[in-house]
């Protein structure tokens, strides 16, 4: 094995694995402190997330959101952009879904309403990212600052829309009226029932197919098209990209559009797939979780699928733990998620020097 | 410090980096008070050897003696204490500190800095007088020219008690006049008993200044010579292990009509500072126009303007009937499509993307090419074939399109870039520093290719800081200083000394240049 | 008695103060057999929100201590988990399941449809299914009483109201309060502000304080907060300015002793308690439980913290109003009946 291959294995597989194991060890220590048997907790999490149909459904349902936001962060990252506005883009994507669905008459075929509302989520998510992208490219405002600020603006906008524009008459909750059933993305359990298999109902819906499809599309786009090449070249070396006839400003704006559109798809899973109405904070936490997912998945769709599954397990497993063990409050669940993000995100390279020294020592000095 | 006759003795120093044998039982003896040259191609192991001597790396085996005492360096601090000073290729200075502040950096002493500053001022003044190294101690380093910066680095070494100075490629950024000045300093240091180790790949410098010379090749020390007993040709042969032709056979140019016309060009760099001022020239098909000048005198900015990377502020460039002005900017993509190829000055930062595989770097600038794309797809197989054919045409080693670009040696990276730019049959070639940091074998190869392109009727613009290269490849030469053209000569009439004076702009009496010392 | 914000200790302490007002309930003293598996799902604010959810938490803690029956508590963190929690509890045979707050109506609807044999108790909102008990309060009646007290204590002729989220439910508090104030003194002026238009408005004490200071500058010298966790900022601002404040939901008199005039009690903890109790006795019924003054579902707080502020005259006047409402002599207009307030 060449040193390059060994380094690739270290970066791609061993580091994430070690980081996750470290995080689990840290969580186990926390559990011991609150008088919870870590082994029992692990059993609950594994059974609760992967052991029975409904649990698997919830795990995959949460994971679907993380795939979308993880891909969004990764695409931007390949252009050297740190898009931390996934939260706001997903939120506004929800507005796109709701406006399209509510604009259609309930009698119109799902074959028209659903694709149109998916387009709505893509379009609104992209719109919400294009402004920070433009400001970064042409005005030099840092994308981290502008996307964060756009999260706040999105929140204010959505409150306004939910409270004053789309609120159902006579409802106290700031939420839109129920989407007509023609606009519901079919649940996986309904799909299975349709072909003769009965599985337990869960919020898992066809969005997961969309998530897999978009993972594939992102992979093809980034590594097998000239536009993907331009994005990666810009991200790795802007000077060289300019030399190569690529216009980084254009690339930045386009990349942010794509990134925002991907984040907007969270709304498809949440609103078209499950909640069936626009509501406040439906995207809560998925945008930021996507950053950790992309980091852990090494900004590659395959890695993101795995990392998103892990986060789905954390979300669903946390719920299961809180359900089964009275000592585990929801705050402990947040601590668990925080530890995973800490070890897999912030401290992701902590083992690298040792691994490299033992497994792939430097060969060339000059 | 010591009256030993032998300053440095290395015995069987051995160093492996994984599978690479960087230093293979290297032995070296440097006599006190001499100038000792070490030559070798890139990757020959010179830098590793010096890094071991300076405590950056530890040798796997072997002995180091400094002034006849056994030493084992595990940090540069120990090496400094033993009397070794190092002047790096890239200066290690804090830009906005004064000379004095830079010199005491690392030896500040107590909590209050004023005391050590005063002590240092006295000591530095004494050293300056003694070695002919006068520098204004209170000038901020950022406002000094490179020649002076180098003096500061040398002073820094001496102030820390160095009796042995190691200089790594010290003349790369200097004008011939500054180089002469540096060599004068070497001579006076030598007279004061300081030992100098000069690492370079410029044989001319070795011949003119050193007492002894050692040649390294493939990690081994292949020869030690008294400089006055060897020759240019012998050293070159020792370095690359075979005879090379440093002078290029080239026929008379058969230049045709002008294809690139530059008129009253003004260009500002990325920071908005005007770096090209009122430059006009023409390049004809079938000729090489050499642009000489010390690094940072506007040639880089000119190259970027010629290739569409930077917009013009005034004037015009006419090429293939297109007139580029400040209002009509044509970007790199359009110019490349028109038939202008560009080998950039900085291959690491511009010419390729070090983290990409060779096949992807071999695509830079041509990723929209119809031959590589099928519909929406950028075909992996076509990309690989493209890279393989470039690699075989230009003998890039290893010929592995999947290998990361950064894992190729400098020469092979450059060959890949040159291949990419030359193989598309462009009409105009804009080439910057084609052989910087490239080993002799590759230099020869690239030079031949440039001449071949000229003979095929292409118009070539060549920017290089290596006068030798300019003189041997060009048909006509223009010299740039401070953004202006300060001389135009035909290559046949060019003399190194005249060009050097033009580079420092001292031929024209109406323009004065403070740094130049004719 | 010392009060801390530490949740557990606070809970215990409030349990004691709660005992003072729980007298109206006829409680079964016998230790029930653990033949029900009661559960509760708090809303996303969590059970320690110092307000609405916490009032339920206090009632449930009391139930556990009184009966020895364990109540399973869940605190979901997002909308999907609310429904998941309800369904999960139902699938494991828990019942009755108490759902806290109007925001859970959608989730209760879905869960109650999926588990039609499981008993759900929804506080503050209506889901019209045969296995859901909807507990609603006549907040306007309780607010009427504290409005009377506010008018009697105002020297400036101006009193204030700070609502949480701008929804009809909170307007019902406001409207009842205004009617009480005007009933006592028709020349009184009432200032009213809402903190915001989302659930976050129930947890924004700094904005509550800001609004209170503005109302005080405009002459208000008694301020009634119907704003959940936002209230603590209101009471603090009132105490700082030396004017009186009125708490809400649970007895909040202890929070700023000396300037807390009283609290409008909405006995949600008791609703959960009663629901479990009824289920255990086999008397749990679906449909509506609308709790007003007559049912002692709402009321006003009088304890050692505000004893000195309430003169016998005031007490008599408030009790007069209360009796009149119960007797039907005074009809307090319900804002939510027609989405408007006559005053």
Per-residue pLDDT of C144-182, as tens digits, reads 999 999 999 999 999 999 999 888 889 999 999 999 999
Kindly state the DSSP code that residue A201 receives in the 8-state scheme.
-
| First and final C-alpha spacing in chain A | 21
The pLDDT mean for chain A works out to 91
- Paired tokens of B369: 């090419």
List the structure tokens of C244.
């009186």
pLDDT of residue C47: 85
CB C245 within 8 A of CB C161: no
- pLDDT for the residue A334: 84
Q: Alpha helices, DSSP H only, in B423-465?
A: 440-455
pLDDT recorded at residue B359? 94
- CA-to-CA distance for A76 and A65, rounded, in angstroms? 17
Same domain, C150 and C72: no
d(CA A114, CA A185): 7
**Residue from C340, C302, C295 nearest C136 by CA:** C295
Overall CATH class of domain B258-348+426-503: alpha beta
pLDDT at residue B108, rounded to an integer: 67
Q: What does DSSP assign to residue A141?
A: -
Helix (H) or strand (E) holding C206, with range, is: helix C205-217
SS3 for B261-320 is EEEEEEEECCCCCEEEEEEEEEEECCEEEEEECCCCCCHHHHHHHHCCCCCCCEEEEEEC
Whether residues C116 and C195 fall in one domain = no
Residue C151: give the domain boundaries.
139-266+311-338
Same fold, B6-240 and B258-348+426-503: yes
| Residue C96, pLDDT above cutoff 70 | yes
What does the alpha-carbon distance between residue A27 and residue C11 come to, in Å, rounded to a whole number? Answer: 29
Which residues make Cβ contacts (< 8 Å) with residue A67, sequence separation at least 6? A211, A212, A214, A215, A293, A304, A305, A308
Predicted pLDDT of residue B242: 53
* B201: pLDDT strictly greater than 90: no
User: How many contacts, defined by CB atoms under 8 Å, are there between A and C?
Assistant: 59
% of chain A surpassing 90 pLDDT: 67
Give residue limits of the domains in chain B: 6-240, 258-348+426-503
* Distance in angstroms (rounded) separating the CA atoms of residues C75 and C55: 15
At residue B23, the 3 state secondary structure works out as: strand
- Condensed to tens digits (0 to 9), the pLDDT of residues C201-216 reads 888 999 999 999 999 9
pLDDT value of residue B297: 83
Cα–Cα distances in angstroms (integers) from residue B310 to residues B271, B321, B325, B349, in the given order: 11, 20, 11, 16
Residue C194 in any domain: the answer is yes
Q: How far apart are the first and last CA of chain C?
A: 41
Asked, for residue A343, whether it belongs to a domain, the answer is no
Q: Could you read off the pLDDT of A110-145 as tens digits, one per residue?
A: 999 999 999 999 999 999 999 999 999 999 899 999
Same domain, C204 and C220: yes
- Asked if the structure places residue A267 within a domain, the reply is yes
C with A: touching (≥3 Cβ pairs within 8 Å): yes
- Split at pLDDT 50, 70, 90, the class of C78 is confident
- Residue B279: phi and psi, rounded to 5, are -100, 130
**Percentage with pLDDT > 90 across chain C:** 63
Query: pLDDT, tens digit, for every residue of B53-100?
Result: 888 888 888 899 998 888 888 888 888 888 999 888 777 888 888 888
Residue B495 CB partners (closer than 8 Å, separation 6+):
none
Tokens of A212: 């897999």
Chain A neighbors of C79, CB-CB under 8 A: 275, 279, 281-282
Across the range A193-222, mean pLDDT stands at 94
CA atoms in the 13 A half-sphere facing the CB of C81: 25
β-strand partners of B317 = B262, B324
Is residue A159 within 8 A of residue A174, CB to CB? The reply is: yes
Confidence of residue A362 (pLDDT cuts 50, 70, 90): low
Which segment of A339-348, B259-268, C54-63, C188-197 scores lowest on mean pLDDT? Answer: A339-348
- CATH of residue C179's domain is 3.40.50.2300
Sheet containing strand B164-168, edge to edge, reads: B84-87, B164-168, B195-200, B35-40, B212-217, B220-226
Q: What is the pLDDT of residues C125-137, one digit of tens each?
A: 889 999 999 999 9
CA distance B19 to chain A (A): 6
The string of DSSP letters for A267-295 reads HIIIIIIII-S-BTTTTTTHHHHHHHHHH
Helix (H) or strand (E) holding C64: helix C52-67
Question: Omega into B454 within 30° of 0, i.e. cis?
Answer: no
Query: C147 and C239: one domain?
Result: yes
Indicate the average pLDDT of chain B. Answer: 85
Contact (CB<8Å) C169/A275:
no
Give the whole-angstrom CA distance, residue B483 versus residue B298: 5
For residue B465, is pLDDT > 90? no
Contacts of B333 in chain A (CB under 8 A): 245-246
Q: Which partners does chain A have (≥3 C-beta pairs < 8 Å)?
A: B, C
A228, A233, A247: residue with CB nearest B364:
A233
3-state secondary structure of C12: helix
B20–A236 CB contact, under 8 Å: no
Q: Does residue C167 sit at the A interface (CB-CB below 8 Å)?
A: yes
The two structure tokens encoding residue A115: 């694709």
φ and ψ of A126, to 5 deg? -65, -45
DSSP C93: T
Burial string for A134-158 (b: 16+ CB within 10 Å, else e) reads bbbbeeeeebeebbeebbeebbebb
A72 beta partners: none
**Rounded Cα distance, B177 and C277, in Å:** 101
**How would residue C19 be classed by pLDDT, with cut points 50, 70 and 90?**
very low
| Selected residue with higher pLDDT from A10 and B185 | B185
Rounded Cα distance, B374 and A226, in Å: 10
| Nearest Cβ partner for A284 among C78, C84, C197 | C78
- Chain A and chain B touch, per 3+ beta carbon pairs within 8 A: yes
* pLDDT class of B210 with cuts at 50, 70, 90: very high
Residue A162 pLDDT: 87
Does A310 reside within a domain? Answer: no
Can you tell me whether residue C135 is helix, strand or coil?
Answer: strand
Identify the DSSP state of B248: P
Report yes or no: C33 at the A interface, CB cutoff 8 Å: no
pLDDT of A61 = 96
Distance CA C94, CA C100 (A): 16
Are C151 and C99 in the same domain? no
- At B40, the pLDDT band (50, 70, 90 cuts) reads confident
- Please tell me the distance from the alpha carbon of residue C57 to that of residue C10, in angstroms, as a whole number: 11
CA distances B191 to A106, A123, B34, B186, B195, Å, are 98, 76, 9, 9, 10
pLDDT at C8 over 50: no
- A212 burial level (CB within 10 Å; 0-12, 13-18, 19+): middle
The predicted pLDDT at position B509 comes to 44
| C residues 302-341 closer than 8 Å to A (CB) | none
pLDDT tens track for B302-333: 999 999 999 999 999 999 889 999 999 999 99
Range from A53-57, A116-120, C196-200 that averages highest in pLDDT: A116-120
What pLDDT is stored for residue B109 in this prediction? 65
Supply the range of the domain harboring residue A105: 71-304
A232 touches chain B (CB under 8 A): yes
- How many structural domains is chain A composed of? 1
Q: What is the pTM of this model?
A: 0.78
The mean pLDDT of B354-365, rounded to a whole number, is: 93
B6-240: which CATH topology? Rossmann fold (3.40.50)
B247: pLDDT strictly greater than 70: no
Per-residue model confidence (pLDDT) at position B392: 92
In a domain, C297, yes or no: no
Residues of B in contact with A366 (CB under 8 A): 22, 42-43, 45, 47-48
Q: At what angle do helices A38-50 and A15-33 cross, to 10 degrees?
A: 120
List all residues of chain A from 51 to 110 with a beta carbon under 8 Å from chain C.
58, 61-62
Q: What average pLDDT does this structure show over B271-280?
A: 88
Stretch C306-311: mean pLDDT, rounded? Answer: 92
- Write out the two tokens for A254: 């386009």
Q: What is the mean pLDDT of residues B194-215?
A: 87
pLDDT at A363 over 60: no
Mean pLDDT (whole number) for B247-276 = 85
Q: Does residue C27 carry a pLDDT above 50?
A: no
* HSE-CB for A5 with a 13 A CA cutoff: 3
Mutate to test the interface with C, among A90, A189, A330, A336 (most CBs of C within 10 A): A330
Based on the structure, what is the number of domains in chain C?
Answer: 2
Check whether residue C130 and residue C143 sit in a common domain.
no
Q: Is the pLDDT of residue B512 over 60?
A: no
The answer to whether A288 touches A84, Cβ cutoff 8 Å, is yes
- The size of chain C, in residues, is 343
Contact yes or no for A61 and C80 at CB 8 A? yes
What is the pLDDT at residue A15?
85
Residue C211 inside a domain? The answer is yes
- Look at residue B319 in the predicted model and tell me its pLDDT: 92
Q: Is residue C102 assigned to a domain?
A: yes
A224-270 pLDDT tens trace: 999 999 999 999 999 999 999 999 999 999 999 999 999 999 999 99
Residues of chain C with Cβ-Cβ distance to A61 below 8 Å are 80
Residue C190 lies in a domain: yes
pLDDT value of residue C290: 92
* Same domain membership, residue C316 and residue C278: no
Percent helix, strand, coil in chain B, to 5, is: 35, 25, 40
- Touching B (3+ Cβ pairs <8 A), the chains are A
Distance (Å, whole) CA C192 – CA C176: 12
Put the strands of the sheet holding C222-226 in their side by side order: C189-196, C158-165, C222-226, C244-249, C260-266, C298-300
Mean pLDDT computed over B352-369: 92
Q: Is residue C12 part of a domain?
A: yes
The answer on C144 and C109 residing in a single domain is no
Instruction: Give B387-445 pLDDT, tens digit per residue.
Output: 999 999 998 888 889 988 888 877 889 999 999 999 988 999 999 989 877 777 788 88
Q: Which single residue is written with the structure tokens 């390059």?
A: A4
Q: If residue A143 lies in a helix (H) or strand (E), which one and from where to where?
A: helix A143-160
Which has the closest alpha carbon to C243: C207, C287, C212, C271?
Answer: C212
Strands B61-66 and B69-71: antiparallel
Identify whether residues C201 and C321 lie together within a single domain. Answer: yes
Average pLDDT score, chain C = 87
Over 50: is that where the pLDDT of C7 sits? no
Same domain, C255 and C158: yes
The answer to whether residue A327 neighbours chain C at the CB level (below 8 Å) is: no
Q: Which residues of C91-104 are buried (b: 16+ CB within 10 A; e: fewer)?
A: eeebbbbbbbbbbb
Gap between the Cα atoms of C247 and C223, Å rounded: 9
């Amino acid at each position: 094995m060449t040193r390059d291959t060994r380094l690739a294995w270290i970066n791609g597989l061993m580091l994430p694995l070690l980081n996750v194991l470290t995080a689990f060890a840290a969580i186990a220590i926390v559990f011991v402190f609150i008088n919870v048997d870590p082994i029992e907790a692990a059993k609950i999490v594994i059974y609760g997330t992967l052991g029975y149909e409904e649990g698997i459904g919830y795990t995959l349902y949460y994971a679907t959101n993380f795939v979308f936001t993880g891909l969004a962060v990764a695409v931007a990252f390949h252009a050297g952009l740190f898009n931390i506005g996934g939260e706001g883009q997903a939120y506004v994507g929800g507005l796109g879904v709701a406006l399209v669905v509510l604009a259609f008459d309930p009698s119109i075929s799902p074959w028209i309403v659903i694709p149109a509302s998916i387009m709505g989520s893509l379009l609104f998510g992209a719109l919400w990212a294009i402004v920070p992208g433009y400001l970064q490219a042409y005005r030099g405002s840092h994308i981290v600052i502008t996307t964060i600020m756009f999260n706040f603006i999105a929140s204010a906008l959505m409150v306004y829309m939910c409270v004053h524009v789309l609120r159902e008459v006579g409802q106290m909750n700031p939420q839109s009226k129920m989407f007509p059933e023609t606009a519901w993305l079919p649940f996986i359990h309904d799909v299975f029932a349709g072909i003769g298999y009965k599985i337990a109902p869960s919020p898992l819906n066809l969005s997961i197919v969309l998530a897999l499809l978009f993972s594939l599309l992102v992979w093809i786009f980034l590594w097998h098209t000239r536009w993907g090449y331009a994005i990666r070249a810009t991200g790795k070396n802007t000077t060289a990209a300019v030399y190569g006839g690529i216009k980084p400003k254009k690339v930045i704006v386009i990349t942010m559009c794509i990134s925002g559109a991907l984040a907007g798809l969270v709304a498809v899973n949440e609103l078209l797939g499950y909640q069936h109405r626009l509501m406040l904070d439906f995207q809560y936490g998925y945008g930021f979780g996507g950053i950790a997912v992309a980091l852990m998945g090494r900004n590659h769709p395959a890695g993101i699928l795995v990392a998103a599954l892990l986060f789905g397990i954390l979300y669903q497993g946390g719920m299961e733990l809180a359900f089964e063990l009275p000592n585990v409050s929801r705050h402990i669940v947040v601590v668990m998620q925080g530890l995973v993000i800490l070890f897999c995100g912030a401290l992701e390279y902590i083992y690298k020097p040792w691994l490299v020294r033992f497994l792939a020592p430097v060969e060339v000095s000059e | 410090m010591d009256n030993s006759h032998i300053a440095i003795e290395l015995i069987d120093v051995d160093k492996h980096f994984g599978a690479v044998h960087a230093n293979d039982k290297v032995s070296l003896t440097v006599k006190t008070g001499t100038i000792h040259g070490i030559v070798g191609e890139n990757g020959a192991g010179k830098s590793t050897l010096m890094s071991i001597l300076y405590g950056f790396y530890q040798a796997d085996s072997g002995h180091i003696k400094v002034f006849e005492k056994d030493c084992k360096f595990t940090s540069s601090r120990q090496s400094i204490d033993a009397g070794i000073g190092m002047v790096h290729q890239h200066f290690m200075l804090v830009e906005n500190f004064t000379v004095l502040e830079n010199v005491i950096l690392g030896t500040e002493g107590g909590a209050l800095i004023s005391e050590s500053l005063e002590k240092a001022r006295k000591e530095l003044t004494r050293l300056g007088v003694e070695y002919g190294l006068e520098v204004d101690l209170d000038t901020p380093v950022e406002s000094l020219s490179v020649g002076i910066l180098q003096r500061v680095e040398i002073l820094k070494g001496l102030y820390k008690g160095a009796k042995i100075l190691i200089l790594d490629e010290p003349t790369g950024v200097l004008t011939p006049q500054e180089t002469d000045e540096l060599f004068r300093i070497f001579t006076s240091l030598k007279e004061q008993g300081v030992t100098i180790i000069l690492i370079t790949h410029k044989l001319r410098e070795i011949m003119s200044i050193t007492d002894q010379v050692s040649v390294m090749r493939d990690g081994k020390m292949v020869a030690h010579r008294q400089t006055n007993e060897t020759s240019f040709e012998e050293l070159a042969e020792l370095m690359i292990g075979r005879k090379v032709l440093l002078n290029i056979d080239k026929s008379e140019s058969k230049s045709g009509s002008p294809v690139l016309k530059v008129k009253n060009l003004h260009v500002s760099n990325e920071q908005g500072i005007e770096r090209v001022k009122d430059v006009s020239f023409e390049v004809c098909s079938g000729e090489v126009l050499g642009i000489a000048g010390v690094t940072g005198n506007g040639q880089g900015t000119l190259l970027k303007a010629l290739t569409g990377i930077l917009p013009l502020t005034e004037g015009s460039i006419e090429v293939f009937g297109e007139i580029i002005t400040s209002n009509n900017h044509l970007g790199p993509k359009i110019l490349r499509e028109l038939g202008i190829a560009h080998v950039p000055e900085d291959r690491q930062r511009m010419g390729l993307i070090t983290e990409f595989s060779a096949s992807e770097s071999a695509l830079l600038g041509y990723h929209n090419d119809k031959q590589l794309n099928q519909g929406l797809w950028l075909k992996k197989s076509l990309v690989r074939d493209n890279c393989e054919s470039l690699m075989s045409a230009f003998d890039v080693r290893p010929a592995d399109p999947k290998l990361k670009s950064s894992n190729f040696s400098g020469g092979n990276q450059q060959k890949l870039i040159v291949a990419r730019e030359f193989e598309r049959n462009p009409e105009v070639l804009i080439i910057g520093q084609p052989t910087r940091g490239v080993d002799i074998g590759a230099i020869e190869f690239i030079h031949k290719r440039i001449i071949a392109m000229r003979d095929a009727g292409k118009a070539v613009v060549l920017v290089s800081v290596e006068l030798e290269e300019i003189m041997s490849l060009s048909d006509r030469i223009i010299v740039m200083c401070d953004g202006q053209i300060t001389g135009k000569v035909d290559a046949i009439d060019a003399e190194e000394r005249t060009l050097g004076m033009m580079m420092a702009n001292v031929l024209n009496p109406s323009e004065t240049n403070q740094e130049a010392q004719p | 008695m010392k009060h801390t914000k530490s949740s557990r200790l606070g809970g215990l302490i409030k349990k004691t103060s709660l005992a003072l007002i729980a007298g109206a309930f006829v409680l079964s003293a016998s230790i029930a057999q653990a033949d029900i598996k009661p559960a509760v799902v708090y809303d996303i604010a969590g059970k320690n929100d110092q307000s609405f959810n916490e009032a339920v938490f206090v009632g449930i803690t009391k139930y556990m201590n009184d009966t020895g029956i364990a109540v399973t508590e869940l605190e979901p963190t997002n909308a999907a988990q609310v429904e998941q929690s309800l369904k999960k509890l139902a699938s494991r045979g828990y019942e009755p399941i108490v759902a806290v707050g109007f925001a859970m109506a959608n989730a209760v609807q879905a869960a109650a449809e999926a588990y039609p044999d499981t008993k759900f108790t929804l506080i503050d909102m209506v889901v019209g299914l045969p296995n859901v008990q909807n507990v609603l309060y006549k907040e306007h009646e309780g607010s009427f009483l504290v409005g009377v007290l506010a008018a009697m204590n105002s020297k400036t002729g101006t009193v204030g109201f700070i609502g949480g989220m701008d929804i009809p439910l909170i307007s019902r508090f406001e409207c009842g309060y205004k009617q009480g104030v005007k009933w006592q003194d028709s020349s009184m002026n009432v200032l009213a502000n809402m903190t915001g238009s989302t659930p976050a408005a129930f947890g924004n004490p700094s904005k509550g304080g800001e609004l209170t200071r503005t109302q005080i500058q405009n002459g208000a010298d008694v301020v009634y907060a119907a704003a959940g966790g936002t209230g603590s900022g209101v009471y603090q601002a009132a105490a700082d300015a030396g004017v009186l404040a009125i708490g809400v939901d649970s007895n909040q008199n202890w929070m700023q002793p000396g300037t807390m005039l009283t609290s409008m009690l909405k006995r949600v903890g008791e609703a959960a308690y009663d629901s479990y109790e009824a289920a255990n006795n086999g008397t749990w019924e679906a449909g509506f439980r609308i709790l007003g003054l007559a049912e002692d579902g709402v009321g006003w707080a009088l304890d050692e913290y505000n004893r000195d502020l309430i003169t016998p005259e005031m007490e008599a006047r408030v009790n007069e109003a209360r009796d009149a409402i119960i007797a039907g002599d005074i009809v307090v207009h319900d804002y939510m009946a027609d989405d408007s307030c006559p005053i």
